[in-house]
Amino acid sequence: MRKRSLLIAALPVIALLCGALVWAALRSEPEPPWVAQLQGKILRLDQRTPGDLGVYIKHLGDGGELDYQAGRHWYLASAVKVPVAIATLQRVDEGVWPLDQRLALRNEDKVDGSGGLAWQDSGSEYDLKTLLEEMLQRSDSTAADMLINRVGEDELNRRIASSMADQGFGRITSLLRVRHELYRELHPDAANLSNRDVIQLASAPLGRERVRALARTLDVDPSELRADSLEQAYQRYYARRLNAATLRAYGGMLEKLARGRLLSRANTDLLLDLMGLDEYHAYRLEAGLGKDVPFAQKTGTQFERACHMGIIDPKSEQAIVIAACVEDAGQEQAAQTLEMLGSLVSDTLLR
């Protein structure tokens, strides 16, 4: 009986290894040895750490690809800001906007989250380059919504589908709509929350206090809410695949960026710089890779979701694309898992 239990427990592992073998068989060229080596290490890492791990890696030099649960959708959180930046800079490349084009901050642009633009006076003006910097380096959600509203949500998604990724992305929305859609899982009237309402709600701690604050803001009885908890609302929201993508699709977008297929050389270099190519923060993947490894990157964090996407040595012919997410783990736990993943990548591919 014990052997049968062990066999059942091993089935997910066997399935993952079989999937890797099938993928290798479909490749026209032999798989580089590092793929199988790193695949096994990642499998063991996932087994001993909280939550679920997904990883996509592609070495642009030898063509090797690693797919560990990278074919399903993962919630991106602030990692959506990279395609927003690409769409914005594509419009600059097309001559529609100059990089010094100034946008005025409106009340309807303001949203809670990282950064400080939400607290600035409406009517304050910022050029596109400044907004890109605020969005990517300080993960300012108000800056992101100013750019999304400028590009247009439909146009953003059209560009993602037509040039960045053929398939694999769910619909990307404004950051304000993220809040609306989440709170709508609790009550339909949340769709009418103002920007000010959303920002004020964010001051209530996650959990029961946030749920009670929402009921007060909507002036409804807590018994009218459609979810038992904020956690349940998040799970329902995540299941809709908004602002989500497969890691293979996201990695493919990063590969196109590194190969200069999405932007002009000048704007490719600008975006890589804004993604912290010459900086080191000792956080998540970056902490494991080490301070001497050039890494253009973007993180994403939301309730029990954490991602880290980037390109190692992006200006080299030996660039390495990596897209990784952890779900159903706390932020500190996820950060530790991603740091350990970075160390595995460094030990296997960079030494």
Of all residues in the chain, the percent with pLDDT exceeding 90 is 90
Residue 27: its pLDDT value, please? 52
Band (pLDDT 50/70/90 cuts) for residue 29 is confident
Q: How confident is the model over 288-303, as a mean pLDDT?
A: 98
Band (pLDDT 50/70/90 cuts) for residue 45 is very high
pLDDT in tens, 251-270: 999 999 999 999 999 999 99
Residue 21: its pLDDT value, please? 52
- The pLDDT of residue 126 is above 70: yes
Q: How confident is the model over 244-252, as a mean pLDDT?
A: 99
- The pLDDT of residue 7 is above 50: no
Does residue 237 or residue 228 have the better pLDDT?
237
- The pLDDT of residue 3 is above 90: no
Give the mean pLDDT of the chain: 94
- The pLDDT of residue 192 is above 70: yes
Q: How confident is the model over 268-277, as a mean pLDDT?
A: 98
- The pLDDT of residue 47 is above 60: yes
Band (pLDDT 50/70/90 cuts) for residue 11 is low
- The pLDDT of residue 5 is above 70: no
Given phi > 0 = left and psi -120 to 50 = alpha, else beta, which region is 199? alpha
Reduced to 3 states (helix: H, G, I; strand: E, B; else coil), residue 75 is strand
Band (pLDDT 50/70/90 cuts) for residue 8 is very low
- The pLDDT of residue 300 is above 50: yes
- The pLDDT of residue 236 is above 60: yes
Q: How confident is the model over 318-333, as a mean pLDDT?
A: 98
Residue 351: its pLDDT value, please? 85
Of all residues in the chain, the percent with pLDDT exceeding 70 is 92
Q: What is the 3-state secondary structure (H, E, C) of the chain?
A: CHHHHHHHHHHHHHHHHHHHHHHHHHCCCCCCHHHHHHHHHHHHHHHHCCCEEEEEEEECCCCCEEEECCCCEEECHHHHHHHHHHHHHHHHHCCCCCCCCEEECCHHHCCCCCCCHHHCCCCCEEEHHHHHHHHHHCCCHHHHHHHHHHHCHHHHHHHHHHHHCCCCECCCCCHHHHHHHHHHCCCHHHHHCCHHHHHHHCCCCCCHHHHHHHHHHHCCCHHHCCCCCHHHHHHHHHHCCCCEEEHHHHHHHHHHHHCCCCCCHHHHHHHHHHCCCCCCCCCCHHHHHCCCCCEEEEEEEECCEEEEEEEECCCCCCCEEEEEEEECCCHHHHHHHHHHHHHHHHHHHCC
Q: Are 345 and 351 in contact (CB under 8 A)?
A: no
Distances (CA, A) of 81 to 66, 173, 196, 232, 252: 24, 11, 22, 26, 16
